[in-house]
Chains A and B, each alone.
Chain A
Amino acid sequence: MSLDATLAALSDPTRRAVLELLRGGPRRAGELSDALGMSPPAMSRHLRVLRECGLVAEARGDDDGRVRVLRLRPEPLDELRHWIGEVERFWTGQLASFKEHAERRSRRAPRRR
């Protein structure tokens, strides 16, 4: 899925809270709506967004195969991490340039102490 869908999904605080809860392990939809104090239909809409962008997948429960649980899928966040990595490289270059300038300038005209 596109990074755009991932970012859009992450832009909502409720959906971020859902992901935080799922970090602790798979949960049923009802557990999520209870934990966040939301109505099941509202939670269902958020879960649909998360499923569509691939951040969350539906699975069968470990101890009861009849129960549907939701689990976290970290793959879409890899794209986001890649993007953040690009941003980091950009600023690493800029700060290196800043350091070079500031230190060169300081050697030329040492500050009085």
Chain B
Amino acid sequence: MSAPAGDGATVSVSVRVPQAEAFDVFTSEIDLWWRQGPRYRIAGRRRGQLSFEPGVGGRLFETVELPAGPRVIVVGTILAWDPPKRLEFEWRGVNFREGESTRVEVNFRDVGESTLVTLRHSGFAALREGHPVRHGLDGAAFSRMMGLWWGELLSGLREHVVTRASA
């Protein structure tokens, strides 16, 4: 029950593709494998595109097509870009304060014909008052944190879209 150990979630999956391909598909094709729908995407059912900008300092972001033009929402900056082995990026919730961030680290381990992909999302203990779970552990708080970095921001966008469409 070590406190720091409770500070993150670790998930692994074995994928039957070589290491280099796993890294490449994970990053350059994220839009093709990232789950669809409002729980996972800002765009919801609208047209949107999730992208990694390769290299340290690049960003993970989603572009949403709105009638007024595309809008870019940044999830975080890339902290480590070490193909085909390792990738690390920031993960910021929509109501994170300036300077607040969690981290996602992804390791790709070569195991012959397959790759063991291990993802760790950590840094929750470093979040202070004002982070997305300040109201407790309800589903809405979780959505604001994870699938919908965006939460209110995005429901705002959707309303905007609906209003325009019906105008």
> Tally of A-B residue pairs with Cβ under 8 A?
124
Nearest-neighbor residue (CB-CB) of A88 within chain B = B9
Contact A94 B128 (CB under 8 A): no
Q: Is the CB of B33 within 8 A of A102?
A: yes
Residue of A nearest to B115 (CB): A102
* B166 CB within 8 Å of chain A: no
Any A CB within 8 A of the CB of B7: yes
Contacts of A90 in B (CB 8 A): 146-147
Q: Are the C-beta atoms of A84 and B3 separated by less than 8 Å?
A: no
Q: Which of B119-155 contact A (CB under 8 A)?
A: 119, 121, 124-129, 131, 133-137, 142, 145-147
Query: Any chain A CB within 8 A of the CB of B1?
Result: yes
B131–A4 touching, CB < 8 Å = yes
Interface size on A, residues (CB 8 A): 40
| Residues 85-112 of A at the B interface (beta carbon under 8 Å) | 85-88, 90-103, 105-106, 111
Chain B positions within 8 Å of A, measured between CB atoms, are 1-4, 6-18, 21-22, 25-26, 29, 32-35, 40, 117, 119, 121, 124-129, 131, 133-137, 142, 145-147
Q: Using CB atoms and an 8 Å cutoff, list the residues of chain A in contact with chain B.
A: 2-4, 7-8, 10-11, 16, 19-20, 23, 74, 77, 79-88, 90-103, 105-106, 111
